[in-house]
Amino acid sequence: MDIMTPPHSPETDRFERISPLPAYQLVAEAIEREIVSGHIPPGEPIGTEADLVKQFGVNRSTVREGIRCLEQSGLIRRESSRRLVASLPRQGKLATRVSRALILHQVTFRELYEAIDMLERSAIELAVAHRTDDDLQAIARNLERTRDALSEPIRLAELDTEFHSLVAVATGNRVLQLAREPASLLIYTATQPIFEHVPEAAPRLLAAHEKLYDALVRRDVEDARAWMRRHVADFGKGFLRTGRTLDDPVDRIPFDSIFQTRGTS
């Protein structure tokens, strides 16, 4: 053995080499810290690119790349005067980013189905307790449109998604609303084939939505919970009848339309 080579030990392999962060990422993180901490509240100007170049002492391309990252996350926006302003990330934009991450991790429809089951039952329980008359009116309008769209799979998939979003709004809990949205985006494209290939799917969906609405009106949490469980189970059964399995990764379903029609809102 070469006497100049130190003996191998676990301690010599414990740590990996440190890779310094790119300058643009440091710029983005510095601005993000100020916004998240509340030092720069939503609506307050951050300055212009030129201002930030002077403050950070970096070149303009570094600042521009850092700003681009923050614009994509929704933490800042540009005004017509080119001034940069702190902003609240839109729910749809946040959900889209998480949905894409779930696809990259190759989550399966089984994982998605299990998550939806828990989230939707929690949503309906909270909605029973906190729904308002305005919430009921919005859901009633959704039901009217659904009755007119039973022969239109694409429209029906959109209205189904809207119904569950309205139930989430009725909870009055923004954390729950945001938590369920990424999974909802991925479920969206799986529902249209069900309406196309399972004849009884559309009338069963409408019946379940009407029962859920009735339970909300009566504030009957037990009935609401039971119907939501049945409704989600129907989705699982319908999904299998389209020839797919719950162990398929979500990226086997065409999902581009999700991000074009919903994720950019």
Domain CATH code at residue 187 = 1.20.120.530
DSSP 77: E
In this model, does residue 264 exceed pLDDT 80?
no
Average pLDDT over residues 15-19: 70
Give the tens place of pLDDT for each residue, 153-186.
999 999 999 999 999 999 999 899 888 888 887 8
In this model, does residue 118 exceed pLDDT 70?
yes
In this model, does residue 125 exceed pLDDT 80?
yes
Q: Which two tokens stand for residue 218?
A: 């009566």
Helical H runs in 74-132? Answer: 91-104, 109-130
How many of the other CB atoms lie within 10 Å of CB of 119? 19
CA quadruple 250, 255, 256, 262: dihedral sign = negative
Residue 8 lies in a domain: no
Residues 66 and 143 in one domain: no
Residue 14 lies in a domain: no
Domain CATH code at residue 28 = 1.10.10.10
Question: Starting from the edge strand earliest in sequence, which strands make up the sheet with 84-86, in order?
Answer: 45-47, 84-86, 76-78
Kindly report the pTM of this predicted structure.
Answer: 0.68
Number of domains present in the structure of the chain: 2
Residues 76 and 106 in one domain: no
Give pLDDT, residue 68.
87
Give pLDDT, residue 218.
98
Domain that includes residue 75, residue range: 23-86
pLDDT band, very low/low/confident/very high, at 225 (cuts 50, 70, 90): very high
What single letter denotes the amino acid at residue 102?
L
Give pLDDT, residue 185.
78
CB 118 within 8 A of CB 229: no
Residue 39: strand, helix, or coil: coil
Give pLDDT, residue 262.
47
Give pLDDT, residue 80.
73
Last residue of a domain, one of 44, 67, 86: 86
